[in-house]
Amino acid sequence: MKRYLRAVARYGARAVAFGQHQAVRFGELWRRSLQVRVVVSTLALSSAVVFVLGMVLQNQITDRLLETKEEAAIAATRDSVAVAQRELQGVNLSADLVRNRLQQALNKLTSSTPNTGTVSSSAGTFEPVLATPQPYQGETMTSVGPYADVPDSLRHFVENDQLSVQIHTVDRDSGRTTFLIVGAPFHTGQQKMQLYMLYPLSAEQSTIAVVQSTLLVGGLVLLLLLAGIANLVTRQVVRPVRSAAQAAERFAGGELDERMVVVGEDDVARLAQSYNKMAESIERQIRQLEEFGGLQRRFTSDVSHELRTPLTTVRMAADVLHASREQFPPGLARSTELLVDELDRFESLLGDLLEISRLDAGVEELAAEYIDVRPIAVRAARAVATIARTAGTEIILDLPEDEASAEVDSRRIERILRNLLANAVDHGDGHPVRLRMAVDGEALAVTVRDYGVGLRNGEAGLVFNRFWRADPSRNRHTGGTGLGLAISLEDARLHGGGLDAWGEPGKGACFRLTLPCHQGVEFHESPLQLPPPDAKVPSAVASDVEALGEADAMRVTVGEDVEPELEPPAPVWEEAR
Protein backbone atom coordinates (compact mmCIF):
# COMPACT_ATOMS: atom_id res chain seq x y z
CA MET A 1 0.00 0.00 0.00
CA LYS A 2 2.81 2.41 0.87
CA ARG A 3 4.56 1.60 -2.41
CA TYR A 4 1.33 2.33 -4.26
CA LEU A 5 0.92 5.67 -2.46
CA ARG A 6 4.53 6.64 -3.23
CA ALA A 7 4.01 5.80 -6.89
CA VAL A 8 0.83 7.85 -6.99
CA ALA A 9 2.58 10.77 -5.31
CA ARG A 10 5.52 10.51 -7.73
CA TYR A 11 3.30 10.47 -10.82
CA GLY A 12 1.18 13.26 -9.35
CA ALA A 13 4.28 15.42 -8.82
CA ARG A 14 5.38 14.73 -12.40
CA ALA A 15 1.93 15.67 -13.69
CA VAL A 16 1.98 18.91 -11.69
CA ALA A 17 5.48 19.76 -12.92
CA PHE A 18 4.46 19.02 -16.51
CA GLY A 19 1.35 21.20 -16.12
CA GLN A 20 3.40 24.06 -14.69
CA HIS A 21 5.94 23.76 -17.52
CA GLN A 22 3.19 23.83 -20.14
CA ALA A 23 1.55 26.81 -18.41
CA VAL A 24 4.84 28.71 -18.50
CA ARG A 25 5.34 27.88 -22.18
CA PHE A 26 1.80 28.97 -23.00
CA GLY A 27 2.33 32.20 -21.03
CA GLU A 28 5.46 32.97 -23.04
CA LEU A 29 3.63 32.14 -26.29
CA TRP A 30 0.71 34.32 -25.20
CA ARG A 31 2.97 37.30 -24.53
CA ARG A 32 5.02 36.96 -27.70
CA SER A 33 2.44 35.90 -30.33
CA LEU A 34 -0.30 38.26 -31.47
CA GLN A 35 -1.77 35.46 -33.59
CA VAL A 36 -2.20 33.16 -30.58
CA ARG A 37 -3.85 35.94 -28.56
CA VAL A 38 -6.31 36.75 -31.35
CA VAL A 39 -7.22 33.09 -32.00
CA VAL A 40 -7.62 32.23 -28.30
CA SER A 41 -9.63 35.41 -27.65
CA THR A 42 -11.86 34.65 -30.64
CA LEU A 43 -12.41 31.10 -29.41
CA ALA A 44 -13.23 32.29 -25.88
CA LEU A 45 -15.71 34.91 -27.04
CA SER A 46 -17.20 32.58 -29.65
CA SER A 47 -17.63 29.87 -27.02
CA ALA A 48 -19.55 32.28 -24.82
CA VAL A 49 -21.73 33.35 -27.75
CA VAL A 50 -22.36 29.76 -28.87
CA PHE A 51 -23.17 28.72 -25.30
CA VAL A 52 -25.67 31.54 -24.82
CA LEU A 53 -27.19 30.93 -28.25
CA GLY A 54 -27.48 27.19 -27.57
CA MET A 55 -29.16 27.80 -24.22
CA VAL A 56 -31.64 30.24 -25.78
CA LEU A 57 -32.45 27.85 -28.65
CA GLN A 58 -32.80 24.91 -26.30
CA ASN A 59 -35.13 26.83 -23.99
CA GLN A 60 -37.20 28.09 -26.92
CA ILE A 61 -37.54 24.61 -28.42
CA THR A 62 -38.33 23.05 -25.04
CA ASP A 63 -40.92 25.69 -24.21
CA ARG A 64 -42.52 25.34 -27.64
CA LEU A 65 -42.71 21.54 -27.36
CA LEU A 66 -44.24 21.70 -23.88
CA GLU A 67 -46.64 24.45 -24.91
CA THR A 68 -47.87 22.40 -27.87
CA LYS A 69 -48.08 19.29 -25.72
CA GLU A 70 -50.03 21.16 -23.03
CA GLU A 71 -52.54 22.63 -25.47
CA ALA A 72 -53.19 19.24 -27.06
CA ALA A 73 -53.39 17.58 -23.61
CA ILE A 74 -55.94 20.10 -22.30
CA ALA A 75 -58.10 19.69 -25.45
CA ALA A 76 -57.93 15.88 -25.19
CA THR A 77 -58.72 16.05 -21.45
CA ARG A 78 -61.82 18.16 -22.08
CA ASP A 79 -63.03 15.63 -24.66
CA SER A 80 -62.43 12.87 -22.15
CA VAL A 81 -64.33 14.83 -19.48
CA ALA A 82 -67.32 15.04 -21.83
CA VAL A 83 -67.20 11.28 -22.42
CA ALA A 84 -66.90 10.46 -18.72
CA GLN A 85 -69.65 12.93 -17.85
CA ARG A 86 -72.04 11.26 -20.34
CA GLU A 87 -71.25 7.85 -18.94
CA LEU A 88 -71.82 8.87 -15.34
CA GLN A 89 -74.57 11.46 -15.83
CA GLY A 90 -77.62 10.93 -13.64
CA VAL A 91 -76.25 7.78 -12.03
CA ASN A 92 -76.53 7.66 -8.27
CA LEU A 93 -73.34 5.98 -7.15
CA SER A 94 -73.82 3.91 -4.05
CA ALA A 95 -70.92 2.63 -1.99
CA ASP A 96 -71.17 -0.81 -3.52
CA LEU A 97 -71.39 0.28 -7.12
CA VAL A 98 -69.04 3.27 -7.10
CA ARG A 99 -65.90 1.41 -8.10
CA ASN A 100 -67.60 -0.66 -10.80
CA ARG A 101 -69.18 2.36 -12.43
CA LEU A 102 -65.89 4.27 -12.40
CA GLN A 103 -64.17 1.28 -14.01
CA GLN A 104 -66.82 1.13 -16.71
CA ALA A 105 -66.36 4.83 -17.46
CA LEU A 106 -62.61 4.38 -17.51
CA ASN A 107 -62.98 1.46 -19.93
CA LYS A 108 -65.07 3.69 -22.14
CA LEU A 109 -62.23 6.24 -22.20
CA THR A 110 -59.71 3.55 -23.07
CA SER A 111 -61.96 1.42 -25.23
CA SER A 112 -59.34 1.32 -28.01
CA THR A 113 -56.88 -0.55 -25.78
CA PRO A 114 -58.83 -1.68 -22.76
CA ASN A 115 -56.24 -4.16 -21.48
CA THR A 116 -53.25 -1.81 -21.28
CA GLY A 117 -54.81 1.24 -19.68
CA THR A 118 -53.20 3.56 -22.23
CA VAL A 119 -54.60 5.03 -25.38
CA SER A 120 -53.44 7.34 -28.15
CA SER A 121 -54.93 10.73 -28.83
CA SER A 122 -53.96 13.97 -30.51
CA ALA A 123 -51.78 14.68 -27.46
CA GLY A 124 -50.17 11.25 -27.63
CA THR A 125 -50.63 8.28 -25.38
CA PHE A 126 -52.14 8.82 -21.96
CA GLU A 127 -53.26 7.01 -18.82
CA PRO A 128 -56.65 8.16 -17.40
CA VAL A 129 -57.53 8.28 -13.72
CA LEU A 130 -61.08 8.70 -12.35
CA ALA A 131 -61.67 9.57 -8.73
CA THR A 132 -64.55 10.64 -6.52
CA PRO A 133 -64.73 11.70 -2.88
CA GLN A 134 -67.11 8.76 -2.25
CA PRO A 135 -65.64 6.60 0.57
CA TYR A 136 -64.81 3.04 -0.37
CA GLN A 137 -63.47 0.29 1.88
CA GLY A 138 -62.17 2.74 4.47
CA GLU A 139 -60.61 5.14 1.97
CA THR A 140 -61.69 8.77 1.66
CA MET A 141 -61.37 8.62 -2.12
CA THR A 142 -62.54 6.06 -4.61
CA SER A 143 -60.38 5.90 -7.72
CA VAL A 144 -59.55 3.77 -10.68
CA GLY A 145 -56.23 4.06 -12.52
CA PRO A 146 -52.81 5.11 -11.14
CA TYR A 147 -54.25 7.66 -8.73
CA ALA A 148 -51.12 7.39 -6.50
CA ASP A 149 -49.04 8.94 -9.28
CA VAL A 150 -51.01 12.19 -9.09
CA PRO A 151 -49.16 14.73 -6.90
CA ASP A 152 -50.97 16.24 -3.90
CA SER A 153 -50.52 19.80 -5.17
CA LEU A 154 -52.46 18.99 -8.34
CA ARG A 155 -55.21 17.22 -6.36
CA HIS A 156 -55.63 20.33 -4.24
CA PHE A 157 -56.36 22.53 -7.26
CA VAL A 158 -58.75 20.00 -8.81
CA GLU A 159 -60.64 19.59 -5.52
CA ASN A 160 -61.21 23.38 -5.64
CA ASP A 161 -62.86 22.99 -9.08
CA GLN A 162 -59.84 24.24 -11.08
CA LEU A 163 -58.48 22.65 -14.24
CA SER A 164 -54.76 22.37 -13.63
CA VAL A 165 -51.64 21.12 -15.37
CA GLN A 166 -48.43 19.89 -13.77
CA ILE A 167 -45.29 18.06 -14.84
CA HIS A 168 -44.40 15.29 -12.42
CA THR A 169 -41.83 12.48 -12.40
CA VAL A 170 -42.90 9.06 -11.16
CA ASP A 171 -40.76 6.10 -10.09
CA ARG A 172 -42.09 2.85 -11.56
CA ASP A 173 -40.78 -0.64 -12.06
CA SER A 174 -39.78 0.22 -15.62
CA GLY A 175 -37.85 3.28 -14.40
CA ARG A 176 -38.39 6.97 -13.80
CA THR A 177 -41.06 8.44 -16.08
CA THR A 178 -42.01 12.07 -16.47
CA PHE A 179 -45.67 12.87 -17.12
CA LEU A 180 -47.63 15.91 -18.11
CA ILE A 181 -50.66 15.49 -15.83
CA VAL A 182 -53.91 17.37 -16.56
CA GLY A 183 -56.54 17.35 -13.82
CA ALA A 184 -60.14 18.39 -14.52
CA PRO A 185 -63.17 18.44 -12.15
CA PHE A 186 -66.72 17.65 -13.35
CA HIS A 187 -70.15 16.82 -11.84
CA THR A 188 -72.64 14.04 -12.48
CA GLY A 189 -75.81 15.34 -10.89
CA GLN A 190 -75.02 15.79 -7.22
CA GLN A 191 -71.76 13.82 -7.37
CA LYS A 192 -68.31 15.53 -7.73
CA MET A 193 -65.86 13.70 -9.95
CA GLN A 194 -62.19 14.14 -10.88
CA LEU A 195 -60.45 13.13 -14.10
CA TYR A 196 -56.69 13.02 -14.40
CA MET A 197 -54.91 12.39 -17.70
CA LEU A 198 -51.24 11.31 -17.49
CA TYR A 199 -49.36 12.04 -20.74
CA PRO A 200 -45.81 10.60 -20.89
CA LEU A 201 -43.13 13.06 -22.07
CA SER A 202 -40.73 10.41 -23.35
CA ALA A 203 -41.04 11.54 -26.96
CA GLU A 204 -40.49 15.17 -26.03
CA GLN A 205 -37.45 14.24 -23.90
CA SER A 206 -35.99 12.29 -26.81
CA THR A 207 -36.59 15.27 -29.09
CA ILE A 208 -34.89 17.63 -26.61
CA ALA A 209 -31.93 15.22 -26.27
CA VAL A 210 -31.56 15.18 -30.07
CA VAL A 211 -31.73 18.99 -30.10
CA GLN A 212 -29.08 19.22 -27.37
CA SER A 213 -26.68 16.87 -29.15
CA THR A 214 -27.27 18.70 -32.42
CA LEU A 215 -26.57 22.06 -30.81
CA LEU A 216 -23.44 20.68 -29.10
CA VAL A 217 -22.01 19.18 -32.28
CA GLY A 218 -22.98 22.25 -34.30
CA GLY A 219 -21.42 24.54 -31.71
CA LEU A 220 -18.13 22.59 -31.72
CA VAL A 221 -18.02 22.61 -35.52
CA LEU A 222 -18.79 26.32 -35.50
CA LEU A 223 -15.99 26.98 -33.00
CA LEU A 224 -13.50 25.03 -35.11
CA LEU A 225 -14.54 26.96 -38.19
CA LEU A 226 -14.26 30.28 -36.33
CA ALA A 227 -10.80 29.30 -35.02
CA GLY A 228 -9.66 28.47 -38.54
CA ILE A 229 -11.10 31.69 -39.93
CA ALA A 230 -9.53 33.76 -37.13
CA ASN A 231 -6.19 32.02 -37.72
CA LEU A 232 -6.27 32.73 -41.46
CA VAL A 233 -7.37 36.34 -41.01
CA THR A 234 -4.81 36.97 -38.28
CA ARG A 235 -2.01 35.48 -40.38
CA GLN A 236 -2.84 37.88 -43.18
CA VAL A 237 -2.31 40.75 -40.75
CA VAL A 238 0.50 39.32 -38.62
CA ARG A 239 2.70 38.09 -41.47
CA PRO A 240 3.42 41.61 -42.83
CA VAL A 241 3.95 42.86 -39.28
CA ARG A 242 6.47 40.09 -38.61
CA SER A 243 8.17 40.84 -41.90
CA ALA A 244 8.37 44.51 -40.92
CA ALA A 245 9.78 43.59 -37.50
CA GLN A 246 12.46 41.37 -39.05
CA ALA A 247 13.36 44.08 -41.56
CA ALA A 248 13.59 46.63 -38.74
CA GLU A 249 15.83 44.30 -36.70
CA ARG A 250 18.16 43.75 -39.65
CA PHE A 251 18.16 47.50 -40.33
CA ALA A 252 19.02 48.20 -36.68
CA GLY A 253 21.77 45.57 -36.92
CA GLY A 254 23.56 47.61 -39.58
CA GLU A 255 22.01 46.34 -42.83
CA LEU A 256 20.98 49.80 -43.97
CA ASP A 257 19.89 48.59 -47.41
CA GLU A 258 17.18 46.35 -45.91
CA ARG A 259 13.69 47.10 -47.32
CA MET A 260 10.20 45.62 -47.14
CA VAL A 261 8.51 44.01 -50.14
CA VAL A 262 5.49 46.05 -51.31
CA VAL A 263 2.59 43.86 -52.50
CA GLY A 264 -0.74 45.37 -53.53
CA GLU A 265 -2.23 48.72 -52.61
CA ASP A 266 -3.86 48.04 -49.23
CA ASP A 267 -2.97 49.39 -45.79
CA VAL A 268 -0.13 46.90 -45.34
CA ALA A 269 1.34 47.94 -48.69
CA ARG A 270 1.17 51.59 -47.63
CA LEU A 271 2.88 50.61 -44.36
CA ALA A 272 5.68 48.93 -46.34
CA GLN A 273 6.04 52.00 -48.57
CA SER A 274 6.20 54.30 -45.54
CA TYR A 275 8.76 52.05 -43.88
CA ASN A 276 10.92 51.99 -47.00
CA LYS A 277 10.80 55.77 -47.26
CA MET A 278 11.73 56.08 -43.60
CA ALA A 279 14.59 53.58 -44.03
CA GLU A 280 15.91 55.47 -47.05
CA SER A 281 15.78 58.75 -45.14
CA ILE A 282 17.53 57.24 -42.09
CA GLU A 283 20.15 55.57 -44.28
CA ARG A 284 20.84 58.85 -46.04
CA GLN A 285 21.17 60.71 -42.74
CA ILE A 286 23.37 57.98 -41.27
CA ARG A 287 25.63 58.10 -44.30
CA GLN A 288 25.84 61.86 -43.98
CA LEU A 289 26.62 61.60 -40.27
CA GLU A 290 29.28 58.99 -40.94
CA GLU A 291 30.84 61.20 -43.58
CA PHE A 292 30.62 64.21 -41.31
CA GLY A 293 32.08 62.23 -38.41
CA GLY A 294 34.89 60.98 -40.61
CA LEU A 295 35.63 64.50 -41.77
CA GLN A 296 35.53 65.74 -38.20
CA ARG A 297 37.89 63.02 -36.99
CA ARG A 298 40.20 63.61 -39.94
CA PHE A 299 40.13 67.34 -39.26
CA THR A 300 40.94 66.80 -35.57
CA SER A 301 43.75 64.42 -36.41
CA ASP A 302 45.15 66.67 -39.14
CA VAL A 303 45.01 69.76 -36.94
CA SER A 304 46.65 67.90 -34.07
CA HIS A 305 49.41 66.69 -36.33
CA GLU A 306 49.85 70.08 -37.93
CA LEU A 307 50.10 71.73 -34.52
CA ARG A 308 52.95 69.43 -33.54
CA THR A 309 55.53 71.30 -35.61
CA PRO A 310 54.83 74.86 -34.36
CA LEU A 311 54.33 73.48 -30.87
CA THR A 312 57.77 71.88 -30.99
CA THR A 313 59.29 75.23 -32.01
CA VAL A 314 57.41 77.07 -29.26
CA ARG A 315 58.44 74.38 -26.78
CA MET A 316 62.12 74.80 -27.66
CA ALA A 317 61.88 78.58 -27.28
CA ALA A 318 60.00 78.23 -24.00
CA ASP A 319 62.58 75.80 -22.64
CA VAL A 320 65.33 78.29 -23.48
CA LEU A 321 63.46 81.07 -21.70
CA HIS A 322 62.64 78.83 -18.78
CA ALA A 323 66.31 77.85 -18.39
CA SER A 324 67.27 81.55 -18.27
CA ARG A 325 64.39 82.67 -16.04
CA GLU A 326 66.73 83.48 -13.15
CA GLN A 327 68.22 86.32 -15.20
CA PHE A 328 64.79 87.89 -15.79
CA PRO A 329 62.87 90.23 -13.55
CA PRO A 330 60.46 88.46 -11.18
CA GLY A 331 57.37 89.21 -13.29
CA LEU A 332 58.95 87.98 -16.51
CA ALA A 333 60.32 84.88 -14.79
CA ARG A 334 56.85 84.04 -13.52
CA SER A 335 55.44 84.49 -17.04
CA THR A 336 58.04 82.07 -18.33
CA GLU A 337 56.98 79.44 -15.78
CA LEU A 338 53.29 79.92 -16.71
CA LEU A 339 54.21 79.57 -20.38
CA VAL A 340 55.91 76.23 -19.77
CA ASP A 341 52.95 74.96 -17.69
CA GLU A 342 50.42 75.90 -20.39
CA LEU A 343 52.60 74.31 -23.06
CA ASP A 344 52.60 71.09 -21.02
CA ARG A 345 48.82 71.24 -20.85
CA PHE A 346 48.61 72.01 -24.57
CA GLU A 347 50.76 69.00 -25.43
CA SER A 348 48.60 66.81 -23.20
CA LEU A 349 45.47 68.14 -24.91
CA LEU A 350 46.89 67.36 -28.35
CA GLY A 351 47.76 63.86 -27.25
CA ASP A 352 44.27 63.29 -25.89
CA LEU A 353 42.69 64.67 -29.07
CA LEU A 354 44.75 62.28 -31.18
CA GLU A 355 43.81 59.40 -28.89
CA ILE A 356 40.10 60.30 -29.07
CA SER A 357 40.22 60.56 -32.85
CA ARG A 358 41.81 57.11 -33.11
CA LEU A 359 39.23 55.62 -30.72
CA ASP A 360 36.38 57.21 -32.67
CA ALA A 361 37.80 55.91 -35.94
CA GLY A 362 38.00 52.39 -34.48
CA VAL A 363 41.62 51.94 -35.47
CA GLU A 364 42.93 51.38 -31.97
CA GLU A 365 44.21 47.88 -31.27
CA LEU A 366 44.42 46.15 -27.94
CA ALA A 367 47.87 44.78 -27.10
CA ALA A 368 46.61 42.53 -24.32
CA GLU A 369 48.71 40.11 -22.29
CA TYR A 370 47.97 38.03 -19.24
CA ILE A 371 49.83 39.84 -16.43
CA ASP A 372 49.54 40.81 -12.78
CA VAL A 373 47.66 44.12 -12.55
CA ARG A 374 48.93 45.09 -9.09
CA PRO A 375 52.23 46.64 -10.34
CA ILE A 376 50.22 48.70 -12.81
CA ALA A 377 48.26 50.21 -9.93
CA VAL A 378 51.49 51.00 -8.09
CA ARG A 379 52.94 52.73 -11.14
CA ALA A 380 49.77 54.76 -11.62
CA ALA A 381 49.88 55.86 -7.98
CA ARG A 382 53.55 56.79 -8.36
CA ALA A 383 52.73 58.86 -11.47
CA VAL A 384 50.34 61.12 -9.54
CA ALA A 385 52.54 61.34 -6.44
CA THR A 386 53.65 64.90 -7.23
CA ILE A 387 50.15 66.37 -7.56
CA ALA A 388 49.04 64.34 -4.53
CA ARG A 389 51.85 65.86 -2.44
CA THR A 390 50.90 69.33 -3.69
CA ALA A 391 47.28 68.77 -2.68
CA GLY A 392 48.25 67.22 0.67
CA THR A 393 46.50 63.99 -0.28
CA GLU A 394 47.62 60.53 0.77
CA ILE A 395 47.04 57.64 -1.68
CA ILE A 396 46.23 54.29 -0.10
CA LEU A 397 46.42 51.09 -2.12
CA ASP A 398 44.35 48.11 -1.01
CA LEU A 399 45.75 45.30 -3.17
CA PRO A 400 45.15 41.52 -2.94
CA GLU A 401 47.87 39.41 -1.34
CA ASP A 402 47.83 36.98 -4.26
CA GLU A 403 48.36 37.84 -7.88
CA ALA A 404 45.52 39.69 -9.55
CA SER A 405 46.09 38.57 -13.12
CA ALA A 406 44.03 39.50 -16.15
CA GLU A 407 44.44 39.78 -19.91
CA VAL A 408 44.89 43.54 -20.32
CA ASP A 409 46.80 46.21 -22.18
CA SER A 410 49.04 47.53 -19.41
CA ARG A 411 49.54 50.94 -21.06
CA ARG A 412 45.82 51.60 -21.28
CA ILE A 413 45.02 50.27 -17.81
CA GLU A 414 47.76 52.42 -16.30
CA ARG A 415 46.32 55.43 -18.13
CA ILE A 416 42.84 54.66 -16.77
CA LEU A 417 44.06 54.34 -13.19
CA ARG A 418 46.24 57.44 -13.52
CA ASN A 419 43.26 59.47 -14.76
CA LEU A 420 41.02 58.16 -11.97
CA LEU A 421 43.61 58.87 -9.26
CA ALA A 422 44.33 62.37 -10.62
CA ASN A 423 40.62 63.11 -10.75
CA ALA A 424 40.19 61.86 -7.15
CA VAL A 425 43.08 64.06 -5.97
CA ASP A 426 41.55 67.07 -7.74
CA HIS A 427 38.20 66.62 -6.01
CA GLY A 428 39.34 65.03 -2.73
CA ASP A 429 39.85 68.28 -0.78
CA GLY A 430 43.02 66.90 0.81
CA HIS A 431 41.35 63.78 2.19
CA PRO A 432 42.92 60.36 1.56
CA VAL A 433 42.27 58.63 -1.76
CA ARG A 434 41.87 54.88 -1.69
CA LEU A 435 42.45 52.47 -4.58
CA ARG A 436 41.07 49.01 -4.01
CA MET A 437 41.47 45.93 -6.23
CA ALA A 438 39.71 42.55 -6.24
CA VAL A 439 39.49 39.57 -8.60
CA ASP A 440 37.12 36.58 -8.61
CA GLY A 441 38.26 34.44 -11.57
CA GLU A 442 35.81 35.93 -14.06
CA ALA A 443 36.47 39.63 -13.65
CA LEU A 444 38.91 42.07 -12.10
CA ALA A 445 37.66 45.28 -10.49
CA VAL A 446 39.39 48.43 -9.28
CA THR A 447 37.69 51.22 -7.34
CA VAL A 448 39.12 54.68 -6.70
CA ARG A 449 37.43 56.33 -3.72
CA ASP A 450 37.75 59.94 -2.64
CA TYR A 451 36.05 61.79 0.22
CA GLY A 452 35.76 65.22 -1.36
CA VAL A 453 32.86 67.25 -2.68
CA GLY A 454 31.16 64.25 -4.31
CA LEU A 455 28.66 64.29 -7.17
CA ARG A 456 25.20 65.78 -7.30
CA ASN A 457 22.16 63.80 -8.41
CA GLY A 458 22.43 62.96 -12.13
CA GLU A 459 26.10 63.87 -12.48
CA ALA A 460 27.33 60.27 -12.30
CA GLY A 461 26.19 59.80 -15.89
CA LEU A 462 27.79 63.04 -17.09
CA VAL A 463 31.32 62.72 -15.75
CA PHE A 464 32.41 60.69 -18.77
CA ASN A 465 31.23 63.31 -21.28
CA ARG A 466 34.01 65.09 -23.12
CA PHE A 467 35.05 68.46 -21.65
CA TRP A 468 32.37 68.21 -18.92
CA ARG A 469 33.19 69.72 -15.53
CA ALA A 470 31.03 69.56 -12.43
CA ASP A 471 32.20 72.97 -11.21
CA PRO A 472 34.09 75.09 -13.80
CA SER A 473 35.15 77.60 -11.12
CA ARG A 474 36.90 74.95 -9.03
CA ASN A 475 40.71 75.01 -8.86
CA ARG A 476 42.38 71.99 -10.44
CA HIS A 477 45.72 70.54 -9.41
CA THR A 478 46.32 68.57 -12.57
CA GLY A 479 45.34 71.08 -15.23
CA GLY A 480 43.40 68.32 -17.00
CA THR A 481 42.17 68.54 -20.57
CA GLY A 482 38.60 67.37 -19.87
CA LEU A 483 39.12 64.23 -21.98
CA GLY A 484 40.73 61.90 -19.43
CA LEU A 485 37.56 60.17 -18.19
CA ALA A 486 36.14 59.95 -21.72
CA ILE A 487 39.32 58.23 -22.92
CA SER A 488 39.27 55.98 -19.85
CA LEU A 489 35.71 54.89 -20.63
CA GLU A 490 36.67 54.04 -24.23
CA ASP A 491 39.74 52.11 -23.01
CA ALA A 492 37.53 50.10 -20.61
CA ARG A 493 35.07 49.29 -23.41
CA LEU A 494 37.96 48.29 -25.67
CA HIS A 495 38.82 45.65 -23.05
CA GLY A 496 35.23 44.42 -22.98
CA GLY A 497 34.69 45.92 -19.51
CA GLY A 498 33.02 48.98 -18.07
CA LEU A 499 33.61 52.11 -16.06
CA ASP A 500 30.93 53.61 -13.84
CA ALA A 501 30.71 56.20 -11.09
CA TRP A 502 28.89 56.94 -7.84
CA GLY A 503 28.87 60.05 -5.69
CA GLU A 504 26.87 62.03 -3.17
CA PRO A 505 27.38 65.61 -2.00
CA GLY A 506 29.55 65.70 1.13
CA LYS A 507 30.34 61.97 0.95
CA GLY A 508 32.80 61.87 -1.91
CA ALA A 509 32.79 59.83 -5.10
CA CYS A 510 33.84 56.37 -6.23
CA PHE A 511 34.79 55.21 -9.72
CA ARG A 512 34.76 51.49 -10.52
CA LEU A 513 36.67 49.82 -13.37
CA THR A 514 35.58 46.25 -14.19
CA LEU A 515 37.51 44.11 -16.70
CA PRO A 516 37.13 40.47 -17.80
CA CYS A 517 39.99 38.23 -16.75
CA HIS A 518 40.12 36.77 -20.25
CA GLN A 519 39.35 38.64 -23.46
CA GLY A 520 36.18 37.52 -25.17
CA VAL A 521 34.76 35.91 -22.01
CA GLU A 522 31.81 37.77 -20.47
CA PHE A 523 31.52 38.27 -16.73
CA HIS A 524 28.30 38.32 -14.74
CA GLU A 525 29.01 40.83 -11.99
CA SER A 526 31.81 42.97 -10.63
CA PRO A 527 33.87 41.69 -7.66
CA LEU A 528 33.50 45.12 -6.00
CA GLN A 529 30.15 46.68 -5.25
CA LEU A 530 29.01 50.17 -6.09
CA PRO A 531 28.08 52.22 -4.06
CA PRO A 532 31.05 51.27 -1.88
CA PRO A 533 30.60 49.82 1.63
CA ASP A 534 31.60 53.15 3.22
CA ALA A 535 29.14 55.15 1.13
CA LYS A 536 27.63 56.65 4.30
CA VAL A 537 30.97 57.88 5.70
CA PRO A 538 30.98 61.70 5.51
CA SER A 539 34.04 63.55 4.30
CA ALA A 540 34.57 65.09 7.73
CA VAL A 541 35.74 61.74 9.16
CA ALA A 542 37.57 60.53 6.06
CA SER A 543 40.95 61.17 7.64
CA ASP A 544 40.15 58.66 10.37
CA VAL A 545 41.81 55.40 9.28
CA GLU A 546 39.39 53.25 11.25
CA ALA A 547 36.46 54.87 9.41
CA LEU A 548 38.03 53.80 6.13
CA GLY A 549 38.41 50.22 7.31
CA GLU A 550 42.08 49.99 6.31
CA ALA A 551 42.88 46.85 8.27
CA ASP A 552 44.79 45.13 5.46
CA ALA A 553 45.70 48.04 3.15
CA MET A 554 49.14 48.74 1.72
CA ARG A 555 50.03 52.41 1.99
CA VAL A 556 52.03 54.29 -0.64
CA THR A 557 54.13 57.08 0.84
CA VAL A 558 54.03 60.06 -1.48
CA GLY A 559 57.46 61.08 -2.71
CA GLU A 560 59.13 57.77 -1.96
CA ASP A 561 61.68 56.89 -4.65
CA VAL A 562 61.49 53.12 -4.27
CA GLU A 563 58.23 51.37 -5.12
CA PRO A 564 56.72 49.47 -2.20
CA GLU A 565 56.75 45.72 -2.08
CA LEU A 566 53.63 44.03 -3.42
CA GLU A 567 53.47 41.83 -0.37
CA PRO A 568 51.61 44.11 2.10
CA PRO A 569 53.43 44.67 5.40
CA ALA A 570 51.71 44.62 8.72
CA PRO A 571 49.22 47.48 8.95
CA VAL A 572 50.95 50.59 10.23
CA TRP A 573 48.01 51.54 12.42
CA GLU A 574 47.47 48.13 14.00
CA GLU A 575 49.50 49.11 17.05
CA ALA A 576 47.55 52.33 17.46
CA ARG A 577 44.40 50.29 17.77
> Which of 79, 171, 94 minimizes the C-alpha distance to 134?
94
* Tens-place pLDDT, residues 449-489: 988 888 878 777 777 776 666 555 555 545 555 677 888 88
Mean pLDDT (the chain) is 77
**Averaged pLDDT, 440-451:** 88
Q: Which phi and psi angles does 558 have, rounded to 5°? A: -65, 130
Higher pLDDT: 55 or 38? It is 55
Question: What is the Cα–Cα distance from 267 to 279, expressed in whole angstroms?
Answer: 18
Count CA within 13 A, CB hemisphere, residue 510.
Answer: 23
Question: What is the Cα–Cα distance from 420 to 487, expressed in whole angstroms?
Answer: 11
* Tens-place pLDDT, residues 13-29: 778 777 777 777 777 76
| Secondary structure (H, E, C), 411-471 | HHHHHHHHHHHHHHHHHCCCCCEEEEEEECCCEEEEEEEECCCCCCCCHHHCCCCCCCCCC
**Averaged pLDDT, 345-374:** 72
- The answer to whether 289 and 296 are in contact (CB under 8 A) is no
* Tens-place pLDDT, residues 304-346: 667 777 777 777 887 877 777 777 788 787 888 788 777 777 7
Which of the four pLDDT bands, split at 50, 70 and 90, describes residue 1? low
Quick check: 112 pLDDT over 50?
no
Looking at residue 296, its pLDDT comes to: 67
* Tens-place pLDDT, residues 144-161: 788 888 898 888 888 888
Of 39-53, 178-192, 562-576, the poorest mean pLDDT is in 562-576
Helix (H/G/I), strand (E/B), else coil: 347: helix
Looking at residue 97, its pLDDT comes to: 60
Quick check: 196 pLDDT over 80?
yes
Question: What is the Cα–Cα distance from 251 to 41, expressed in whole angstroms?
Answer: 33
* The one-letter amino acid at 151: P
Looking at residue 470, its pLDDT comes to: 58
Looking at residue 361, its pLDDT comes to: 61
Contacts of 337 (CB under 8 A, 6+ apart): 322, 325
pTM: 0.47
Looking at residue 114, its pLDDT comes to: 40
> Which of 502, 498, 527 minimizes the C-alpha distance to 513?
498
- The answer to whether 93 and 134 are in contact (CB under 8 A) is yes
Looking at residue 312, its pLDDT comes to: 78
Which of the four pLDDT bands, split at 50, 70 and 90, describes residue 446? very high
Paired residues of 197 in beta bridges? 128, 182
Quick check: 193 pLDDT over 50?
yes
* Tens-place pLDDT, residues 531-564: 888 777 665 555 454 444 444 445 544 444 434 4
Question: What is the Cα–Cα distance from 77 to 181, expressed in whole angstroms?
Answer: 10
Higher pLDDT: 59 or 541? It is 59
Quick check: 57 pLDDT over 70?
yes
**Averaged pLDDT, 349-361:** 66
- The answer to whether 223 and 46 are in contact (CB under 8 A) is yes
Give the domains, in start order, of the chain with CATH numbers. Answer: 33-241 (no CATH), 268-358 (1.10.287.130), 366-555 (3.30.565.10)
> Which of 206, 203, 157 minimizes the C-alpha distance to 182?
157
Q: Which phi and psi angles does 183 have, rounded to 5°? A: -110, 130
Angle at 14 between CA 13 and CA 20, to 5 degrees: 90
Quick check: 500 pLDDT over 80?
yes
Quick check: 407 pLDDT over 70?
yes
**Averaged pLDDT, 41-60:** 86
Quick check: 187 pLDDT over 50?
yes
Of 108-117, 516-525, 555-564, the poorest mean pLDDT is in 555-564
* Tens-place pLDDT, residues 231-256: 888 877 777 777 877 888 888 777 77
Looking at residue 435, its pLDDT comes to: 92
Higher pLDDT: 422 or 6? It is 422
* Tens-place pLDDT, residues 73-94: 888 888 888 888 777 776 555 5
Of 258-267, 433-442, 467-476, 485-494, the poorest mean pLDDT is in 467-476
